[in-house]
Amino acid sequence: MSALFARFHEAHPDIESEVDGAQMTPEQDAEWTAFSADLLARQQAERAALADVIEAEQKNTGR
């Protein structure tokens, strides 16, 4: 279990994450989406910045 999901689970103990095959309800899924949105946005920004660096390096090396 990821550290982020562990924190989410601590804040939402009603979610059965250890039950095999258990699915979150649409409401719980929405809560998870909101809870993890900041991390997702940060990761997307980091990936975009890295892609820009790689693209610039490739242009400089003629690839």
DSSP 1-63: --HHHHHHHHH-TTS--SSTT----HHHHHHHHHHHHHHHHHHHHHHHHHHHHHHHHHHHHT-
At 5, is the pLDDT very low, low, confident or very high (cuts 50, 70, 90)? confident
pLDDT for 42 beyond 90: yes
What is the overall mean pLDDT for the chain?
88
At 36, is the pLDDT very low, low, confident or very high (cuts 50, 70, 90)? very high
Copy the structure tokens of residue 22: 């258990």
Domain range spanning residue 48? 3-61
What is the tally of structural domains in the chain?
A: 1
Q: What is the pLDDT of residues 44-54, one digit of tens each?
A: 999 999 999 99
Residue 38 pLDDT: 93
pLDDT for 14 beyond 90: no
